Amino acid sequence: MPDLGARLMLLIGSTVPAPAPYNVMDALVSLEVTNRDQDFDGFQMTFSLGKDSLVDYGLLSGGLLDPPNRVIVVAIIGVLPQVLIDGIITDHQVSPSNRPGESTLSVLGKDISVKLSLEEKNQTYPNQPDSIIVTRLIGSYATLGLVTRRSPQRQMCRSR
C-alpha cells in the first residue's frame, strides 16, 4: 500500500468556501492554528507577497483574503481528512520589503463562533418548546453550515 503522507487543504470563500486557487497555495509560507480551552480558537497564515502589476499586490486585489471571508483548514493524513479550524478572517497585515520576494501578507482569523457573537438576538418565543426555539435560532445560521439534529425520541410500546 502506498504511503499517502500528510497534505493540507485550504478552503476560502465569502459564504461557501471553495478550494483555494493555485496562486494562493503557492504563496503560502506558513500556517499556524491555535486551539484554546477558553476564548476563541484562531489561525494565522503567512503568504509571500509580490506585485503583479506596478500598483497592486495580486493576493490583495482579488479580495479572497479580506475580512470577513471564511476559511477552513483541513489536514489529510493518509486518506482521512481532519478539520483543524473553521473560521473567519478578522484582519490582514502587509509587511512590505525593499528586497524582492521578502514582502509578506499575514492573515489572522478566529473560529466560526466569532460570527455568532457579532450580533445579538433578543426575541421572545411565547408558548414554544425549547426544541423549537433552538431550531429557529440555529436555522438563522444555516449559511455557516449549522444545522440542528434531534436525537430520536424514545417511544414507549405497550403490548396487549
* CATH code for the domain of 19: 2.40.10
Rounded CA separation 44/92 (Å): 9
Is residue 144 in some structural domain? no
pLDDT score of 2? 67
Q: Which of 104, 150, 145 is nearest to 129 (CA)?
A: 150
Residue 55 has a pLDDT of 55
Domain count, the chain: 1
Name the residue range of residue 18's domain.
6-117
Distance CA 20, CA 12 (A): 6
What is the predicted pLDDT for the residue at 65? 93
Tracing cell 477552513 back to the chain, one arrives at 72
In this prediction the pTM is: 0.79
Block mean pLDDT (10 aa), the chain, length 160: 83 92 93 91 93 69 90 93 94 88 92 81 85 83 73 48
In a domain? residue 124:
no
Q: Contact 7/82 with Cβ under 8 angstroms?
A: no
> Is residue 92 domain-resident?
yes
What CA–CA distances, in Å, run from 29 to 24, 44, 48?
A: 10, 11, 6
Task: Check: CB of residue 125 under 8 Å from CB of residue 133.
Answer: yes
Nearest to 107 by CA among 58, 47, 52: 47
